[in-house]
Structure 1
Amino acid sequence: MGGLTIEIRQLQTFKTVAELNSFTKAAQTLQYSQASITSHIQQLEDEIGLPLFDRLGKQIQLTMVGQELYLYAVELLAVYSKIQHISADDTSMKGEIRIGAAESITVYKLGSVLSEYKKNYPEVTFSLINDDCLPLRERLHSGEIDIAITLEPKVNAPHLITKTWSEEPLVFVGERNHSFKTIEEANEECIIFSPKKCALRQFFEGYLIEKGISTHNHLEFTSMEAIKQCVVSGLGISMLPFISAEALLRDKKMKIIKSSSENPKFYAQVSYHKNKWLSKAHRKFIEMILGDR
């Protein structure tokens, strides 16, 4: 393998196919023809001399060699991204910022920041994915994203630099005609949860268990919007960030359920890996979020 000739675009194609588990989806994402995607993978396999994917009918799966290459591809493409940001003129603002954010952050807090940033620095491009807090930190560690913006309890991760953007109260909510004086009185109600990897789910479930409230009767949704509509429809109760429930509470489509203890809160936080090289575009974006401008 001493004379390998591998192109960056081949690795980008390979990484995309591996993450989407589909040649077709990779072609759509990268805006290549499917023939080009197949050709890139074939060229890689020819160079390495081993198959990277098992083709199981219409399904594909990384081989052990493919799994190993994927780890190297993530590292190499992260370095390549840094190289792309290098400019002889340090005053220039260009390049790409890869952001991962919690859904509530994207919908209720991030839009105005992105709009202002794009207005001021039009040559900088963004990629944005929504995910739960734990997977976002995993993406930071793998180099898949540059910056994670989460909504959760305060983060204390040794390999990350984390700064607080804002303090966000959480509220227990039920349909507009509920008669519960406190959350403890809702013991027999259906609980509407977000997914298990979501920080809000973990906090909410832990809170209920601590209060002796049964969580056996529950529904689970990946979408915050679905959770809110279920509460409005009277299907159960939930815990939401106030920012995501504010409009429905104001319109009296749902109602807060009080707690006998202090109202819980989360923090909107901006994190990046301590070894991550930040371009001027990255630094300015973080400054703009935190209000240091």
Structure 2
Amino acid sequence: MLNLKILRSYKYAVDYSSFKAAAEKLMYSQSTISKHVAELEQAVGFPLFNEGKVQYGLTEIGELTYNYAQHALIAYGHFKEQVKATASRQTVIKIGGLERYLAEMVVTKVVNYQIDHPQVRFDLIHGTSDETLERLRAGKLDMGIIADRMVPADFTSLAIKRESLVLIASCQTYEKILQDASLMKKLPVLIDRKASVIFEYVLKDTNEFAQVIHVEGDLMVVTGVESQMCLGVVSDGCFNPNDYHVLKIYNEAAPIRLIYPEKWEEKNKKLFAESLIRQLQQDFLTPPQ
């Protein structure tokens, strides 16, 4: 393919029948125009101007070259317009899940992805697994990270890791339970009020706990257990095992899944999903060496 700068210099020289006028229009020196035309003649292999003078008109090969230059420059202009339009047309990808799932598995990946794909914008939407699943079904999310839930129709999933639902106590509270085992049934238990999985595995058809306190989110549960004489029901992935004692395990090794549509209508969303899946497989599913 011939250099577009050379083709532009040639076209302007022909249009204005003057190397000097072409140089003024393109803000080049006249010697640059002459150099470009000479390079074009060398590339084509034939003279472009009658008697070597632009003012004497074009040879037959010169006319073919002019038509080519004109079409090439028009095509390049259309190409630039399409690039500009595509770059300005943003794709919004909405990803939902518990805050700690988004922080652990998604945030750094979308930041790095957006650097290379500025036309893609991300919304990370915090919510329980139930809320995330409902938003997926309603089309309000493109992807979701969900704990221990069935994959809805028209969606597929990647099992990223596994977590267990556990009853925990702080080190200080655990020491008191060792001294008095009956204390375990008397202490208040903090539970995320939005986590239906806790109702399903812990509270349903049981009178295990005398005092259940419903709070907003796992962080509040862990913070309360750390600072107060109480217990908490959370996933084992949201606290440092060295800082708390696990008193009981409920739904052991439940899957944490990335859920996404089986078919993507938008190419940008599909490309990001493929990239995210590759990274999650590398981060969480590759056995340690």
User: 1:245 and 2:234 equivalent?
Assistant: no
CA distance in 2, matches of 1:239, 1:290: 32
Partner of 2:199: 202
Please say which structure displays the higher CA radius of gyration.
Answer: 2
The answer to whether residue 132 in structure 2 is matched with residue 132 in structure 1 is no
Q: Is the 1:171–1:240 contact (alpha carbons within 8 Å) kept by the matching residues of 2?
A: yes
**Aligned residue among 191, 214, 227 for 2:221:** 227
- Once the two structures are superposed, the pairs formed by residues 112-131 of structure 1 within 5 Å of their partners are 112-131=108-127
Q: Does 1:155 align with 2:150?
A: yes
Change (3 A) 1:169 1:117: farther
Indicate which of 191, 194, 207 corresponds to 1:193. Answer: 191
Shift, 1:274, TM fit: 4.1
**Which residue number corresponds to residue 281 of structure 1?**
269
C-alpha separation between the residues in 2 aligned to 1:184 and 1:167? 32
> In 2, are the aligned partners of 1:162 and 1:270 still within 8 Å (CA)?
yes
In the aligned structure 2, how far is the partner of 1:221 from the partner of 1:286?
36
What CA distance in whole angstroms lies between the structure 2 residues aligned with 1:136 and 1:165? 16
Q: Tell me the TM-score normalized by structure 1.
A: 0.55
Matching residue of 1:257: 246
**Unmatched segments (≥5 aa) in structure 2:** 1-81, 283-289
The percent of aligned pairs where both chains have the same amino acid is 14
One-letter amino acid of the structure 2 residue matched with residue 243 of structure 1: G
3-state SS of the aligned residue for 1:257?
strand
The within-5 A match list for 1:50-199 is 95-150=91-146, 152-177=147-172, 178-179=174-175, 180=177, 186-196=184-194, 198-199=195-196
- C-alpha contact (below 8 Å) 2:168/2:232 kept by paired residues: yes
C-alpha distance in 1 between matches for 2:224 and 2:118:
40
RMSD: 3.4
What SS class does the counterpart of residue 106 from structure 1 fall into?
Answer: helix
Q: Find the aligned partners of 1:189 and 1:221 in 2 and give their Cα distance.
A: 16
Shift of 1:226: 1.5
Match of 1:268 among 244, 252, 256: 256
- 1:258-283 deviations in Å (ceiling 9; x for gaps): 33x68722322111244652523344
Which structure has greater helix proportion? 2
SS in 1 for 2:220: helix
Change (3 A) 1:265 1:199: farther
Q: 1:284 to 1:125 in 2, by over 3 A?
A: same
Structure 1: how far apart are the matches of 2:230 and 2:253? 21
Structure 1: give runs of 5+ residues left out of the alignment. 1-86
Higher relative CO (CA 8 A, sep ≥ 6), structure 1 or 2? 1
Instruction: Answer yes or no: is the 8 Å Cα contact 2:94–2:122 preserved in 1.
Output: yes
Q: Distance in 2 between matches of 1:286 and 1:105?
A: 18
Deviation, 1:146, is 1.0
Distance in 2 (CA, whole Å) between partners of 1:184 and 1:165 is: 38
Distance in 2 of aligned mates of 1:290 and 1:155? 22
Residue 134 of structure 1 aligns to a residue whose secondary structure is helix
Report the CA distance between 1:193 and its aligned residue: 0.6
